Structure 1
């Protein structure tokens, strides 16, 4: 039991071994690849140790670490590419585990009450398309959002048309159509209060969600 715990403890140290400073936020965080590799190593150590003692735990940790880091490393690289290309464009890049989200404010994407992409935003979406072509393993979900001004029916329709416009542009730029889905959420998923001008501006947006492929 002590041998197994030793191997597991070594695996757990992987989670704390590579803390870095995020260049965009200045916050301390664990490198995503190290994190997922460490989790895989820990799981492998548990399984291997139960089966074959110390040797099994160490072998399981190695195999589990390699498997766990695989998609995490892929997401690390895709996130870095997106941040580099989108820096200074007004588009936010957020990450939650292996999911990436691009948040595109409405004021730079579409004119008021329009679902035609503004010409000034073509180059930004073109940069997104280049990254999506290079990193083609995840699914792409485009979601349109509005504030609560006006009727819900109008906002649902406008948000869906905006999502469709972005999805169509990505396909026209070479992103594989079967990867992409889109829908309009209208005013149903606010990220700020609709009681203020600034809050309504934040709610008017298009999001692109990048997720691991369904296994």
Structure 2
């Protein structure tokens, strides 16, 4: 009976997980509900383990409720941040991708930097202004800025260029109001390509900046 109550409660939360993305029309899992389901399961298990036999049912249900609230809270926060980013970045060419409690912004080279340069293109600044606007509002997340290049030129040059580009973006975000302790900049050079470097189109995709936003920052 106790196990049945737990399974039924978690199943009820999971049932509400699937939604339709209003921007793409695609079916996806709502991260708030998914986080709540995971938290509920973990909380229920912990409640069962830490309760005496006579109070185990109460412990399971209490743990389930607390876990669902905690898990759902993280997901809800990231859901709201994702929606705000999609609205701000619509039509800019920036891809917004969601993976659990992480949001990834992929910024192609044609809107970020000129070839071989770590100086921001003028048209990239309004994009970063929009990003910093959302990050300043949702200030309980870490922000990882990753720079990448294609394979043209030497590996050493590309590594240094990617580091300078990541640092430039992180500095701009900081100057736009994002607290420095939240920011981390890393250059990956020509590593981790997302397309073939054998074609111009592929190299253009590999020249990019990614901003990874994840929960867990405590002020």
Per the normalisation by structure 1, the TM-score is 0.93
State the 1:120 CA deviation: 1.2
Asked whether the equivalents of residues 101 and 208 of structure 1 are also in contact (C-alpha less than 8 Å), the reply is yes
State the 1:81 CA deviation: 0.7
Which of 137, 140, 156 matches 1:137? 140
Asked whether the equivalents of residues 36 and 70 of structure 2 are also in contact (C-alpha less than 8 Å), the reply is yes
Q: 1:118-197, aligned counterparts within 5 Å?
A: 118-197=121-200
Partner of 1:37: 36
Q: 1:104-115, aligned counterparts within 5 Å?
A: 104-115=107-118
State the 1:77 CA deviation: 0.8
Please provide the CA RMSD for this pair. 1.6
State the 1:49 CA deviation: 4.1
**More displaced, 99-108 or 42-51?**
42-51
State the 1:17 CA deviation: 2.1
Matched, 1:87 2:90: yes
Task: Provide the C-alpha distance between the structure 2 equivalents of 1:121 and 1:35, rounded to a whole number of angstroms.
Answer: 34
**More displaced, 58-67 or 186-195?**
58-67
Question: What runs of 5+ residues in structure 2 fail to find an aligned partner?
Answer: none
Asked whether the equivalents of residues 20 and 31 of structure 1 are also in contact (C-alpha less than 8 Å), the reply is yes
Partner of 1:27: 26
Per the normalisation by structure 2, the TM-score is 0.92
Give the total of aligned pairs. 214
Task: Provide the C-alpha distance between the structure 1 equivalents of 2:28 and 2:88, rounded to a whole number of angstroms.
Answer: 22
Task: Provide the C-alpha distance between the structure 1 equivalents of 2:16 and 2:116, rounded to a whole number of angstroms.
Answer: 50
